[in-house]
Structure 1
């Protein structure tokens, strides 16, 4: 099975650090995020990875090469101009001819990929989106009731819970035909288009670990995790030289 890791973004939320390193090469401990991702994919049975590159993509190619160090086949695409969060798949129409995984290059998770793929097959879905519950704390007191009427309740800086996309997806290959060539196209654009066509888009809930390294708060949390105590599916392969980022 193939997986596409999207690594073309500029990582603006982590500026100024991403002025010298692309976001997937930001270090977690002594290893780059992308190495942990590739290790996780290997443990989940993925044999071929396609990395979409753009901003500072030459550094990613130099560090990871053809993937032989990890026993996995890595190839690359190049974005001459930014193509958005899902637009790079338009470059792979002739390559992705079977169901495949797509994920952002700044995600760390212990998601069981095999269970998600089995769920996708049982649901007979076009797209399955991995989701997780996240709380957002508002900085304001919230009034309940009409804007020009009697107040019925009050909540001081409440926490709201939503199920959010983890940036990990499983797609049928025919979905790619809905992605236009040569222009920016977001994942939100794709989902709205599929929903308008009555395509079956489903969510798969994950209750474990998920960090979005592009967020400063999650990047800091990642540095505090006891990596040696994580389950084997999440351990990176040890052969990668720590000096690569020096």
Structure 2
């Protein structure tokens, strides 16, 4: 996401965090990001608006603020969004995306000039495609200053409806890809669909003795992975950075987080494997399994389909 911000002309990112903030701080400090990144830590969850108010001392009050939800993946053109916001003279602009089924999201209602005049709540009666909030916004400093302090605030329920009634809220229609990855099944679907795009299959700095025919596409191999011989990977397999795959392992339709080790002759199918996991040799992990970070699975174990193993 830092790269996406950088391409949009953003030079500093403030990460509003709550759960696992200490771990995220370590992760940010060790990565070379495309933008400067600082953390703003909530003691309790403050909704979608409260974190903006909490981070106010870190903001530049002379220019608009770009806000993006962390559970969204998209190729929204930030430069285009910012330019449209400035041209319209709006106080706030919401990136919008069209979805075939708007029922889980709620709809934005626009006039002929793409000014947002209202919102329809989530409803089972909303039929057909419609424009929904894409979770990316441009907010003028005047809007930021109105967000209440020290309490949970919903932008969608407390801030945006007021701006819409005042005629100060614009919509900007995004026509590229967009995924809501807030739930694990949606996260998996998004990754598999992105693998079908060539730009997301680029692989570099991989130590491997596996002929390319053994890696079935679409798949992605992250930086500094080590893959031994007689391994079979893919299709729809994602290895994050510094994953080690021992000889004879077979991994398909699976996402593996960084610094995980997959043992000799193990078999993993249609699963999600967390960070820093050790999978023993000759272990079998059934379809639909979820293995949390730092878990150690012993040699020759059998994990039944649909299992969830926490640390």
What is aligned with 1:65? 29
Task: Tell me the residue number matched to 2:92.
Answer: 127
User: Partner residue of 2:56?
Assistant: 93
Match of 1:205 in 2: 173
Cα 1:213–1:158 shift into 2, 3 Å: closer
Which gives a bigger RCO, structure 1 or 2 (Cα 8 Å, sep 6+)? Answer: 1
Q: 1:180 aligns with which of 145, 148, 164?
A: 148
| TM-align CA RMSD | 2.7
Counterparts of 1:166 and 1:159 in 2: how far apart (Å)? 18
- When residues 126 and 63 of structure 1 are mapped into structure 2, their CA distance, relative to the original with a 3 A threshold, is same
Matched positions, count: 186
Assess, with a 3 A threshold, how the Cα gap between structure 1 residues 137 and 70 changes in structure 2: closer, same or farther.
closer
TM-score by length of 1: 0.67
Q: Secondary structure at the match of 1:136?
A: coil
Task: Indicate conservation of the 8 Å contact 2:48/2:155, yes or no.
Answer: yes
In the alignment, structure 1 residue 190 sits paired with structure 2 residue 159: yes
Q: Which 5+ residue runs of structure 2 have no aligned equivalent?
A: 104-124, 201-221, 225-239, 243-257, 260-274, 277-311
Q: Of 138, 148, 151, which aligns to 1:170? A: 138
User: Whole-Å Cα distance in 2 between the matches of residues 99 and 158 of structure 1?
Assistant: 33
Rounded to whole Å, the distance in 1 between the matches of 2:3 and 2:180 is 17
CA distance in 1, matches of 2:11, 2:223: 18
In the alignment, the residues of structure 2 paired with residue 158 and residue 214 of structure 1 have an alpha-carbon distance, to the nearest angstrom, of 21
Secondary structure of 2:66's match? strand
Q: Give the deviation of 1:163 after TM superposition.
A: 0.5
Query: Are 2:14 and 2:38, in contact at CA under 8 Å, matched by a contact in 1?
Result: yes
Alpha-carbon deviation of 1:165?
Answer: 0.5
Q: Cα–Cα, structure 1 residues 172 and 221, in superposed 2: closer, same or farther, change >3 Å?
A: same
2:46 maps to which residue? 83
Structure 1: 5+ residue runs without aligned partners? Answer: 1-36, 139-156, 232-236
Of 174, 181, 199, which residue of structure 2 is paired with 1:230?
199
1:13-162 mapped onto 2 (5 Å cutoff): 37-65=1-29, 69-96=32-59, 97=61, 98-136=63-101, 159-162=127-130
Q: Distance in 2 between matches of 1:49 and 1:168?
A: 14
Q: Is the 8 A contact 2:95 2:174 kept in 1?
A: yes
User: Contact conserved, 1:126 with 1:199, CA < 8 A, in 2?
Assistant: no
